[in-house]
Amino acid sequence: EPEVTQTPSHQVTQMGQEVILRCVPISNHLYFYWYRQILGQKVEFLVSFYNNEISEKSEIFDDQFSVERPDGSNFTLKIRSTKLEDSAMYFCASTGPQFNQPQHFGDGTRLSIL
């Protein structure tokens, strides 16, 4: 069964450094998402991406965050200057061909900011 894959599984970074989290969505999906889960808290929406542009972003997704689909397969989340409070699990999800079909999630990247 096709799946969403994310790399790395764990990223440790010094505060202030840039990180790039990578995702390979399911190949025929058209809608892509990033979510965040801080330890012990609920999964929170960050951003949705469709047709090579952001379709919606949450208040969390400020100017430090950006997303990109650099080629036909990868979908990346960049945090430009990391803060301690960015420490969380970051999940990529995809769905398609319609946006209202169930989303499939990767196993996440655990981001630890020191």
Partner 1 sequence: QKEVEQDPGPLSVPEGAIVSLNCTYSNSAFQYFMWYRQYSRKGPELLMYTYSSGNKEDGRFTAQVDKSSKYISLFIRDSQPSDSATYLCAMSAIDSSNTGKLIFGQGTTLQVKP
Among residues 11, 20, 26, 50, the one that binds partner 1 under rule CB under 8 A: 50
Nearest to 108 by CA among 53, 56, 35: 35
When asked if residue 4 is in the footprint of partner 1 (CB under 8 A), the reply is yes
Residue with tokens 């981001």: 111
Among residues 25, 106, 111, 113, the one that binds partner 1 under rule CB under 8 A: 106
Written in H, E and C, the secondary structure of 53-81 is EEEEECCCCCCCEEEECCCCCCEEEEECC
- Interactions with partner 1, residue window 66-105 (CB under 8 A): 91, 93, 95, 99-105
Among residues 42, 52, 63, 84, the one that binds partner 1 under rule CB under 8 A: 42
Structure tokens at 32: 């892509």
When asked if residue 60 is in the footprint of partner 1 (CB under 8 A), the reply is no
Q: How far apart are the first and last CA of the chain?
A: 37
Site residues for partner 1 per CB under 8 A: 4, 6, 31, 33, 35, 41-45, 48, 50, 55-56, 58, 91, 93, 95, 99-108, 110
